[in-house]
Structure 1
Amino acid sequence: MTRLGSPDAYYRRAKNQGYAARSVFKLQEMDKRYGLLRSGQAVLDLGCHPGSWLQYASQKVGRSGRLVGVDLQEPGVSLPQGSCFIQADLLELTPDQVRERSGVEVFDLVMSDVAPRTSGIKDRDAAQSLELTQAALDMALALLRPGGSFLAKVFFGPGVDDLIRQVKGAFKLGKGHKPDASRSASKEIYILGRGRK
């Protein structure tokens, strides 16, 4: 019998509940703990494919909210009303392009589950993850309203502590967090910023 905390159990739960991926439970856990998502918010989801974070966020922000997804690949789910998708490389996308293409000037939450195409070479993968997460933070700092929140995945490695320090300097609360739904062998952590200064 598989324990609930095992990867297979989270995968089955996601499929049974109609979510595109098991990663939804990471966002759900962090939302319950830190109160990230609320009705009416404008949310930017970087690295939104396959779409489970968009699915969960749409339930939380409701019809009055606005969701903007960004990825190289289109989400594998139907986009909810009040949302749009920008097909782009995060490393090449500018904040002005996001504003222009989405019609949203400022966001309440910028979240990123973006990951590099892994090579299996630990140091290379960690460096590419750090570059993407730094780009997500730069985007958040340009687009978040005062008091807004930031949440982003990164593979732990050199430079991550510096990234967490940047978040601590820009937000009232900044910290690293590893959700229960993350695989135990995974090197990923999530960096959280609450209360944009």
Structure 2
Amino acid sequence: MKKKKNTRQDFYFKKAKKENYPARSVYKLQEIDKKYRLIKPGDFVLDIGCAPGSWMLYLAERAGRKGKVVGVDIADLKIPLKGNMEFIKQDIRELAGSFGRDFDVIVSDVAPETSGIHSVDVGRSLELAETALSIAEKALKPGGKFVCKLFEGEGVEKFLEEAKNIFSFVKPFRPKAVRKHSREFYLIVRNFKNELGSKSL
């Protein structure tokens, strides 16, 4: 069983290296995009926790020349920036109120430093997810989409309920590229409701 697990993960690692992505996590986003039609040409996208840059590269490719991807992280990127990419090296929590209602899509693959204590790590992850959701509520256009990484544990159901108050479509999803024994999953949300409570489908 262990050998099978390593073979599976090695596949994504080698695939990322072959396709010039700095991390295998790009295939999680790719599957989400294909299944839920996340990105379209011309989209304005915010990538929270963008380092080392795999998601940002994929998003920029999908958004195209008429789109733009803004990435935020405290760590450096390991990719060269393209013409439709902008990088802000800063803690996203310090930028929470800095964005206007400009984005079609907001994604967050940010994760805290792990302690090895599950309850602590879930709590830290939820804090970051709450920040990302708060930014999405302020910075998404009506009808916008939001993707956020989470870990199974106490408090997650409450977070899902919060998301349902803001979006008309809320769906937990576990991409195939997630490690077999990981508690990680992604929340896929679409159709951001505007201030009047209506929605764009």
1:189 aligned onto 2:185? yes
Q: Structure 1: any 5+ residue segments left out of the alignment?
A: 100-104
Amino acid at match of 1:74: D
Counterpart of 1:56 (choices 55, 58, 73) is: 58
After the TM superposition, which residues 25-64 of structure 1 pair with which residues of structure 2 at under 5 Å, given as runs? 25-64=27-66
Deviations 1:92-145 (A, max 9, x none): 32232x45xxxxx51000000000011111111111000001100000110000
2:5·2:180 contact (CA, 8 Å) conserved in 1?
Answer: no
Contact preservation (8 Å) 1:38, 1:61: yes
User: In structure 1, what is the Cα distance between the partners aligned to 2:111 and 2:15?
Assistant: 23
- Structure 2 residue matching 1:22: 3-state secondary structure: coil
Identity of aligned residues (%): 42
Question: Could you tell me whether the CA contact under 8 Å between 2:96 and 2:134 is conserved in 1?
Answer: no
1:130-169 alignment runs, 5 A limit: 130-169=126-165
- Rounded Cα–Cα distance in structure 1 between residues aligned with 2:13 and 2:139: 33
Return the TM-score normalized by structure 2: 0.90
| Number of equivalences | 191
Provide the secondary structure at the position in 1 that maps to 2:149. strand
Structure 2 residue runs of 5 or longer lacking an equivalent are: 194-201
Partner-residue secondary structure (3-state), 2:92: coil
In the superposition, relative to structure 1, how do residues 3 and 17 fare at CA in structure 2: closer, same or farther (>3 Å)?
farther
Name the residue aligned to 2:83: 81
Matches of 2:47 and 2:97 in 1, distance apart? 13
For the residue of structure 2 that corresponds to 1:28, the secondary structure is helix
**More off after superposition, 44-53 vs 85-94:** 85-94
Q: Deviations over 1:140-194 (max 9, x none)?
A: 1100000000001011111111111111221120121111110111111101111
Q: What amino acid is aligned across from residue 179 of structure 2 in structure 1?
A: R
Distance 2:169 2:91 in 1: 28
Question: What is the rounded CA distance, in whole Å, between the counterparts of 1:4 and 1:38 in structure 2?
Answer: 34
* Cα distance between partner residues in 1 of 2:37 and 2:62: 11
Q: Secondary structure at the match of 2:94?
A: coil
Q: What is the DSSP-based 3-state SS (H/G/I as helix, E as strand, rest coil) of the residue aligned with 1:151? A: strand
Give the residue type in structure 1 aligned to 2:147: L
Q: 1:83-98 counterparts in 2 under 5 A?
A: 83-96=85-98, 98=99
Contact 2:96 2:131 in 1 (8 A): no
- How much is the aligned-residue C-alpha RMSD, in angstroms? 1.6
Q: When the two structures are superposed, what TM-score results if normalisation uses the length of structure 1?
A: 0.92
